[in-house]
Amino acid sequence: MLEQFEGLIKKRIVLITGKGGVGRSSVTAAIAMAAARAGKRVLVAEIGDGRDNEQRIHDYSPLARLFGLDHLPENKAEIMPGVWGSMLLPLKGHELFLASVFRVGALAKAALHSEALRRLFQAAPSLREVGIFYCLLTYLRQKHTDGTPSNELIIVDMPATGHTLALTGLPKILLSMVSRGPIADALREGQSYLNDPDQASAYVVTLPETLPVSETIELLEGLKNTNMPVGGVILNHVAQDPFTTEERLRLEKVFASHRAQGTPLLGEESFHYFEEARRESERLAREISVPLLRLPDAPPGCESLVSFLADSLLSSAAVRAGAPQ
């Protein structure tokens, strides 16, 4: 098992974040599969919109697709041996929260059906986050029959960078406005999980390219400002660099001397891609102070990306490609 992955599966809650298209969902599914193979009871979650039931049904989830489903279940259900899945729905969270306040589920449902209250919950963006937060807290609290946590490891495929900071920064902001009462108590309880580095970690997925690396460095700063512990950065799509430093120097000379009227030579583009990947991978390693996990680019024709990435997490050989030689 990758040393850095051992640290990850000891947590109770892991948030997978990063910019669009870097592989957050694939990495989330791979972590879930690998953690389940390592014996954990895993819950995979993603934030659903869920303004109403209709919308949920039409939601298309690329994460769920990786488990052969159209969307993750609304209430947690096993989606692969050892892996349960659930959407985190704001509305559901409000219902759970009100049920805990009123202590009677029927009253909570009735309250939510009040058009005025429902509109209020939907209008204030932070109340949407409160709903998601409360869903998460409910799953963190759930106990197995033997008293151990029902969801030993919760992995959340976070939507986009801004949403991640909205969720991780929520307790601090709201607690500065509401310091007493049931919402404050729930926020404090959630904070006790989320801000504890032994229990929670955010992992930033990125690519070995200039912009994603720069954005990752910025996001790490943002997470720090919200007191969210960072477990590491996952450098995805690390391609096997076919050149040694010596070959690279020789090739560079060939490209420089044979360029026909500025037209790139055949192969020059991929040469530069590997060059950028190596440079950016080095820059990332230099600039961050958290562990760096490297995940390989799947080979062409790979049948299951998730299984391939899970194998990489569980194998002891670190991915060296793109790493400093």
Ligand X SMILES: Nc1ncnc2c1ncn2[C@@H]1O[C@H](COP(=O)(O)OP(=O)(O)OP(=O)(O)O)[C@@H](O)[C@H]1O
Binding residues vs Mg ion (CB under 5 A): 24-25
Strand, helix or coil at 156? strand
DSSP state letters, 277-305: HHHHHHHHHHH--S-EEEEEPPPTT-S-H
Shortest distance, position 63 Cβ to ligand X, whole Å: 7
Q: How far is the CB of 24 from ligand X (least distance, A)?
A: 4
Q: CB nearer to ligand X: give 26 or 164.
A: 26
* Partner touching 278 among Mg ion, ligand X, none, CB below 5 to 8 Å by kind: none
Cβ proximity to Mg ion, 25 vs 206, nearer residue: 25
The CB-nearest residue to Mg ion is 25
Task: For the sheet with 292-296, list strands across it.
Answer: 77-80, 83-88, 42-47, 153-157, 13-17, 200-206, 230-238, 292-296
Binding-site partner at residue 295 among Mg ion, ligand X, none, CB < 5 to 8 Å by type: ligand X
> Cα-flanking dihedrals φ and ψ of residue 295, to 5°?
-115, 135
Contacts with ligand X by CB under 6 A lie at 20-26, 62, 236-237, 295, 297-298, 305, 309
In 201-243, which residue ranges form alpha helices assigned H by DSSP? Answer: 210-225
Calculate helix-pair angle for 161-177, 182-194, nearest 10 degrees: 130
Q: How near is the Cβ of 306 to ligand X at its closest, in Å?
A: 9
Please, what's the b/e burial string for 280-303 (b: 16 or more CB within 10 A of its CB; e: otherwise)? bbeebeeebebbbbbbbbbeeeee
- Joined together, the tokens standing for residue 252 give 């560079």
**Which of 108/313 has CB closer to ligand X?**
313
Q: Which does 171 bind (CB under 5 to 8 A by kind): Mg ion, ligand X, none?
A: none
- Tell the smallest beta-carbon distance from residue 155 to ligand X (Å): 13
Decide whether 62 or 267 has the Cβ nearer to Mg ion: 62
Q: Tokens 């008293």, residue?
A: 147
Burial group, residue 118, by CB count within 10 angstroms (0-12, 13-18, 19+): middle
- CB under 5 to 8 A by kind: which of ligand X, Mg ion, none does 20 bind? ligand X
- Residue 305 binds which one of ligand X, Mg ion, none, with CB within 5 to 8 A depending on kind? ligand X
Q: Nearest distance from residue 89's CB to ligand X, in Å?
A: 18
CB atoms within 10 A of CB 3: 10
User: Residue 175 carries which DSSP code?
Assistant: H
Whichever of 26 and 168 has its CB closer to ligand X, that residue is: 26
Nearer residue to Mg ion within complex by CB, 16 or 35: 16
The partner in contact with residue 71, picked from ligand X, Mg ion, none with C-beta cut-offs of 5 to 8 angstroms by kind, is none
CB of 172 to ligand X, least distance (A): 26
